[in-house]
Each structure stands twice: as structure tokens, then as C-alpha cells.
Amino acid sequence: MDRREFVRIGVAAGAAAGSNRVLATPAGAASKLGSGGILDAGVWEQQQMMEAGKLTSHSLTSQYLARIKTIDKSGPRINAIIEINPEALKIALEMDRERNLKRVRGPLHGIPVLLKDNIATGDRMSTTAGSLALNGIRAARDAHVAAQLRAAGAVIIGKTNLSEWANMRSPHSVSGWSGRGGLTLNPYSLDRNCSGSSSGSGAAIAAGLATLAVGTETDGSIVSPASICGLVGIKPTLGLVSRSGIIPIAHSQDTAGPMARSVADAALMLAAMTGVDARDPVTQDSAGKTGDYRAALQKGGLKGRRIGVARNFFGSNDELDAVIEKALQDLKAQGAELIDTEVPNVGKYGDSETEVLLYEFKADLAAYLKEYAPHAPVSNMADVIAYNQKHGQQELPYFGQEYLERSQAKGDLDTPAYREALANNQRYSRAEGIDQVMREHRLDALVAPTGGPAWLTDFINGDHFGGSFSSPAAVAGYPHITVPAGHVHGLPVGLSFVGAAYSEAALIGMAYAYEQATLHRRAPQFPASVSLAVR
């Protein structure tokens, strides 16, 4: 399929008054628009056009909505969007009015953003985690993340599809499928999977359906689809971004984070998402630790950095390893010092991680439903299980709900088995895991392949991942950034940067320097399948 049918949408002129400059060019970044024009551009380019009076938020939002109709709902039908915000154009007009009055709120003013459909919005959209049990249920109020983005001037244009219940329904699930939303397709090969659970957020930003998107992660749900969709994804330190108002899996690991086409865009979005929230006590720890993410966007961000190469996360795919070995040489060329090492004790929290998630899912879901969806037809895990059994043709056609059933069978959070599993996770992922290897080798970061290339979607056998570097940072609650590193047969793969708690600014600097030195991202072409002739 010829991508030009979808992306050559011209820039509509708009009447924005005067230059009200809010965003300087990141150091060394190219300001030239790509082949997709303004819709594939980033925050900086779009802000420049609005400041120059050549674009309005209303026209930009209108073009994205038109592109969603052209690419998401027809054409290749990637099915990334689960719902459009009926108030999107109204919000965009208000942002234009404020700009005309020289009241620009910041870098995200008037920028179209998509939210994963497990993030509550107190508007006319539903918040469902992809479940038909919550279809039509409007949240009592915005999640803290949604409120932060609105306050920053972002235009929330819709919700993205996801792996139902953030992929915590069955060990035989198909990522990117939900009962409410159906299956999201991979823009780089329509027969392959986007990974998950932030599948729609990944596919949408790869395809240029908005400037930015929010994903959520418990273990891999931001960084895996970001890597597979050729994006930058940031899984922040636990507590840097509030969890309140996000349909949960587990409070000990859940976090929202940005998904974007560049490190600069992801950094700007992360800055807007952070903030202490009275409804989420863990965010108190982030006070004074957020860092200056915009200032971190420097081409020299790798110079003098000591980076550990986590060799125990190589070996799942020879062609992937070859791409990452080239990435390591690029890191060295930018002034980094590489030390071969391993992350210790990664095999000691696999089973206990699952146990913690199962215990917390039951408790945290009931708490969310009581506060944000009190009028929903389900109020706890047992209700969700019963709903799915009653509506099995719609909800259970491809795989079951074993994780929900196992979660329901667990006790409360005072159960000794839960407390022991949580302590085990924290010990081996933190003090005797990431902290240990970084202290022993005096490291600034760890790097490894984010994961393998996209696999064929298979409703009979379910997902079959090709390696993953997500668990150490996810279980520890530490930051993790993935950046496009190249391609395997035309399928994107990412390089991961992982660091200590609240080291986002340093990781952003390293990721930005690598990105700007390599510029591996390519826009998708929506092929029906992969050509094995493409390396």
C-alpha cells in the first residue's frame, strides 16, 4: 500500500496571532519536516508553525481526525483508536483563543494527544480498559495524568485500544485485542502484532494519528510496543507520575508514560505529566526529583558516560543482536565507555512478580471501580469474571480469563505470602539487582535490546515474545527508555536505557544523543506482510 495516499496531507493555514514563543529548538535537532508533513512532525515543528501563524490547533486537530478516518477506520484499518473525543475540536478552538490572547501554557499548548483507554477522563468518553463490562461508563473525574495534560494545554483527541485489562487476563492472550476494541494492527506489517498492552498508543503514533500518546506499563507495556512500533517510550520511576484514575493492575509496578516519535517529544510530555498528587501518596517521594528534561536534550549526552551492557538479555535473536551490536559501537563513537556485565538475580523474581500482580490486581481494581466508576455494572473482580462468562461470545472468543480467576482466588494484601513475594521482588530487582550492578561498575545506565521484532498475530497459540529487557526496571520501579535502534527485515527494534530511581534526566540525555547520532526511525508503509528480502 502506497503510504503517500495517507500522509501527504498539506499544512492548513490558520490565523494565530503574533509570535508567542514557548519552545526553543533542542540542541542539534533538525527542524526540517519529514515526508509526512506536519502530521508526522513533532512538538517543536508544530509549535513553530502555530507561532508563525501558519497553523492552528483547530486545523491540526482536524487533520489528525481526518487521518484517523483515512488510515485507522479505512485503508489499512489499523484500528488503534477506540473512541474519538467529541469535544476535541472545541478544546482546540479554546487553545487557539488563548494563543491569540498570548496566553500560551507551555510546549504542549494546542498539541493533539491520545490517551490509552485505561486512563480516566471526566468527559463524554468512556474509560474501559477494553472491557465491554465498562463500555459506556464515564469516569467520575479525570485521572491526575489527564488533568495535568489538560492544564498544559494538550488537546485530548481520543482514546487508544489496548490489550484488554492491560494484558492481565490470560497467559494465552493476543496483545492488542480487546472485547470492546477488537485487534490493533501493526503499521509496519499488518499481519504482525504491536505487542502490548499499549498497542493502540504505539500504532497510532507510529502511523501519525496524533502528535503524542500516553501508555501505561506494569511490565513492558510501554517499552515493548514502543520498540516494535519504532517509537520512543519512557517508563518512568514509580511515583514520578500519579497512578490515580488509571485502571490498575498493581500499584507496586503500574505507571503511565509517554510514547512519541522522538526523544524530545517524549521528554516534553513527561515533564507535563509529572507532579505530586494528594490521591497517590507515592508521588510525594518525587518532590524535587523531577529534573530538567528539556535541558537534558543535548547532543553530548553520552560523552563520558559509563554504560553497562546487560549481556544476559542478548541471545534471543541473532539478527536483533547484530543491530544492537552496531548500536553499541554508535554509543562508543559518541563518547560512552561500555562495560560488559549482567543484571544479577533476574531469575529470582519471575514467579513472585506474578504473585504480587495477582494479589494487587484484585484489591486495586475494586478500589478503582468504587472511586471512578461507581455506577458500573461491575464493582469487583468477581463481577468482571461473571460478566465475561455471561458474554463469552464477545469477551472470550479467543482466550480465557485465567489471570482474573487466579487473582480472585487470592487473599487480601495482609496475606503473608503476598508480603513475602513483594519483599522478594524488591530485594532482587533493586538492592541485589540493578543497584548492585550499577554500584559495582560505577554505571550511569544499563543498555540491552528492548525486545525482539514483531511476531505474527496468532489467535490459536497466543503471543510469542522474542526476548525482553522490561522486567528488571518494571519490578524495581526504575526508569526505562527505549529508542529506535534499527530494523530486522523492515521491522523496528529498540535499544533500552535503564537507570537508578529518578534518573530520567540523565537517561533522556543519553537516549537523545544516541537518537540524534543515528536517526533510525522510519515511517511505516502499511505492508500486508514482511518482505524477507528486506534486511
Residue 533 CB neighbours (<10 A): 7
- The mean pLDDT of 285-309, rounded to a whole number, is 96
502: CB partners within 8 A, 6+ apart: 237, 240, 286, 289, 290, 291, 479
| pLDDT at residue 298 in the model | 96
| pLDDT at residue 531 in the model | 84
Q: pTM for the complete prediction?
A: 0.94
Cell of 104: 500560551
Cell of 188: 509496519
Q: Are 493 and 485 in contact (CB under 8 A)?
A: yes
Read off the pLDDT of residues 41-92 as tens digits, 9 standing for 90 and up: 999 999 999 999 999 999 999 999 999 999 999 999 999 999 999 999 999 9
Instruction: Count Cβ neighbours within 10 Å for each residue of 178-208 and write b for 16 or more, e otherwise.
Output: bbbbebbbbbbbbebbbbbbbbbbbbbbbbb
332 is catalytic: no
Q: Is the pLDDT higher at 94 or at 467?
A: 94
Query: How much of the chain exceeds pLDDT 90, in percent?
Result: 91
Q: Is the pLDDT of residue 10 over 50?
A: no
338: CB partners within 8 A, 6+ apart: 307, 308, 309, 328, 331, 332
| pLDDT at residue 17 in the model | 30
Q: Are 204 and 99 in contact (CB under 8 A)?
A: no
Q: Are 302 and 294 in contact (CB under 8 A)?
A: no
The angle subtended at Cα 89 by Cα 76 and Cα 176, nearest 5°, is: 35
| pLDDT at residue 532 in the model | 83
| pLDDT at residue 25 in the model | 61
- Name the CATH topology of 79-85+108-518: Amidase signature (AS) enzymes (3.90.1300)
The residue annotated as part of the active site, out of 221, 262, 286, 407, is 221
Q: Range with the lowest mean pLDDT among 29-38, 115-124, 141-150, 450-459?
A: 29-38
Nearest to 504 by CA among 239, 277, 326: 239
The amino acid present at 323, given as its one-letter code, is V
499: CB partners within 8 A, 6+ apart: 438, 444, 445, 446, 478, 479, 506, 507
Bridge-based pairing of strands 255-260 and 212-217 is antiparallel
The residue annotated as part of the active site, out of 197, 352, 470, 503, is 197
116 is catalytic: yes
Please report which confidence band the pLDDT of residue 7 belongs to, taking 50, 70 and 90 as the band edges: very low
Whole-angstrom Cα distance, residue 182 to residue 131? 10
**Dihedrals phi, psi of 488, to nearest 5 degrees:** -120, 110
- The mean pLDDT of 242-252, rounded to a whole number, is 98
Name the average pLDDT for the chain.
Answer: 94
Nearest to 429 by CA among 353, 517, 483, 530: 353
Q: Is the pLDDT higher at 15 or at 381?
A: 381
Whose grid coordinates read 543497584?
Answer: 435
| pLDDT at residue 377 in the model | 98
Residue 177's Cα: distance from chain center in Å? Answer: 16
Whole-angstrom Cα distance, residue 138 to residue 158? 14
Q: Is the pLDDT higher at 24 or at 287?
A: 287
The residue annotated as part of the active site, out of 116, 159, 235, 410, is 116
Q: Are 259 and 115 in contact (CB under 8 A)?
A: no
- The mean pLDDT of 473-497, rounded to a whole number, is 98
Read off the pLDDT of residues 396-443 as tens digits, 9 standing for 90 and up: 999 999 999 999 999 999 999 999 999 999 999 999 999 999 999 999
Cell of 499: 537507570
54: CB partners within 8 A, 6+ apart: 11, 13, 14, 16
Domain-wise residue ranges, the chain: 79-85+108-518
| pLDDT at residue 235 in the model | 98
Read off the pLDDT of residues 132-158 as tens digits, 9 standing for 90 and up: 999 999 999 999 999 999 999 999 999
- The mean pLDDT of 310-330, rounded to a whole number, is 98
The angle subtended at Cα 439 by Cα 436 and Cα 440, nearest 5°, is: 85
369: CB partners within 8 A, 6+ apart: 376, 378, 379, 380
Whole-angstrom Cα distance, residue 234 to residue 236? 6
For residue 104, give the DSSP letter. -
Residue 70 CB-half CA count within 13 A:
18
| pLDDT at residue 21 in the model | 52
| pLDDT at residue 12 in the model | 30
Q: Is the pLDDT of residue 459 over 70?
A: yes
- The mean pLDDT of 307-336, rounded to a whole number, is 98
Read off the pLDDT of residues 35-50 as tens digits, 9 standing for 90 and up: 569 999 999 999 999 9
| pLDDT at residue 138 in the model | 97
Whole-angstrom Cα distance, residue 173 to residue 396? 10
Judging by beta carbons within 10 Å of its beta carbon (0-12, 13-18, 19+), is residue 306 exposed, middle or buried?
Answer: middle
Read off the pLDDT of residues 323-369 as tens digits, 9 standing for 90 and up: 999 999 999 999 999 999 999 999 999 999 999 999 999 999 999 99
Q: Is the pLDDT of residue 273 over 70?
A: yes
| pLDDT at residue 291 in the model | 87
Whole-angstrom Cα distance, residue 396 to residue 110? 40
